[in-house]
Chains A and B, each alone.
Chain A
Amino acid sequence: MISIWFFIGISLAFNGALILSAGIYQLVYPPANPGVVLFNLHAGVWWGATLLLVGLIYCFKFAPRRHS
C-alpha cells in the first residue's frame, strides 16, 4: 500500500516546483507593480525551494518500492 507520506511528498514537490518557477520568473522579469508587500524578499523563490526540497525528501523516503 502506498504511504500517505508519499502522497504528501508529491503534493509538496509539485506545488514547490510551481511556486519556485513563478518566483524565479518574477526574479528575472520583475513586474512594474508587484502588488505584494516585501516583494524584494522574493518569498516565492525560497519558500517554493523549501517545499520542493521537503517534498522530494518525502517522495524518496516513502517511495512505494522502497517503503514496502
Chain B
Amino acid sequence: MTKNGQPTAVVIAALIFAVAAVTAEAKDKVKVGFIGPLTGGVSANGLGGRNSADLAVRLRNTDPKAKYEYELVVLDDECKPNVAVQVATKMAADKDIIGGATHYCSAAAIAAVDTYHKFGFPVIVWGAVLPDITYRNKYEEVHRVNGTMINQNEANAELISKFGYKTIAVIHDTTDYGKGHNEYFSKALAKIGKANIVGTFGVTADQQDFTAELTKIKALNPEVIYFGGLTPIGVRIRSQMDKLGIKAVFDGTSGIVSDAYIQGLGPLAEGTLAFREGAPAEKLPGGKFFMEKYNQQKYDNAPEAYGAFAYVAMDMILDTIETVGPDRKKVIEALSNVKDRDSIVGKITFDDHGQNTVPIITKYVIQDGNFVEWDDSEYASGKRKLQGQK
C-alpha cells in the first residue's frame, strides 16, 4: 500500500468499526447454525450451501427492520455419519444457538436427527433427500425444505420407461443414501412395470475401481445403468464404463447434479441423465433475486444445486426468530405451523413430519457440458438421441 493510501484506509476502517459498534449496541446478538460437508468429495455442494445460508444471514443483518443481529456458526459434517453426530451435538449443546440449517448428505442427516431431538434443537434440512430423515420418526425438531428421493425416483423411472428401455442395471453405494435410491427406484420401476432390473450392485462410497462390477454388467448388456450415489464415484463409474466399451445410458440421481461431475468427466458427461427436487435457480420464483444477491457477495464457489434450499432454510429460521424471539421451543412451535409460506423456491408447507410437500422435480440431461432441463434439451426435441433411445 502506498503512503498516501494509508490514512484513507484507516479512516474507512474506523468508520466500519464505528458503524458495527453502533449496530451491535442497538440489537441483541442471536446465533444460528449451519452444517454441511465443507471438506471431502462433495464439498462443492457443502460450500455452496454454506455461502447461501451466509447470504441469508448477511441480508438480514443489513435489514434495518430486523430485531436481532445474527451470527452464523458453521460446522463441517464431512458427509460422514460419525462426524455429523459430533458436530450436531456440539451445535445443539450450545444454548446460544437457536436453530440450524443442516446437512446435504443423507447418511449424515439420518445419523444426526436423534441428537437434534434429544437436545430439542430445531433444524431445517437443506439438501439431504432420504425419506427416513423426516419420516422414520416424528420429531417435531426436524423439518426439511427440499423434497425426498421418492419423488425424484418416480420421475426417473417414468422417464426411463417412456423411452422404451427394457433392461436396467443398478449400481448404488451402500450408505443409507444409496440404498434408499436403490429401494425407491426399484419400487417405482416395478410399479410402472415396463422395464426390468437385470442386476443390482452395491459398492462402497469411496471405491476406486469398478471394472469388475462393470465387466459383470457388460455381460448382462443393459440399456441403462442407474446410479444411486454421489458425484465422486459417479465420475469414476462413468469414466470406467467408457474404458470397458459399455454403451448404456448413464442415469443418475440428485447426487450427481453438481458442476464437479461435468468438470470431472469433460465430454464423457454428455447424455447423462439426472433428477432433483426443486427447479434450477433461474426458474425458481425468487431465483433471479437469489442469484443477483449471491453474485454480489463474490463467493468463491457457485451455490450449486441445493444452495437456494439452504438459503430458504436459513431464511425461515431467521423469519421465525424474528416473530417469536430467540427461544428454541417457540421456534419449533412456529415451524410446525408452516403453510403456503412464500419463499424463493416457491410455496412451502410442512406436513405433520416437518416435510415440505411440494414435489417439483426437475429432469436433467447433460448437453455440451451443462445440465439442461430435459424439456428444453435437443434430446427431447429429437435433434440428438440418447444411446438406444426409441
Do A and B come from the same complex? no
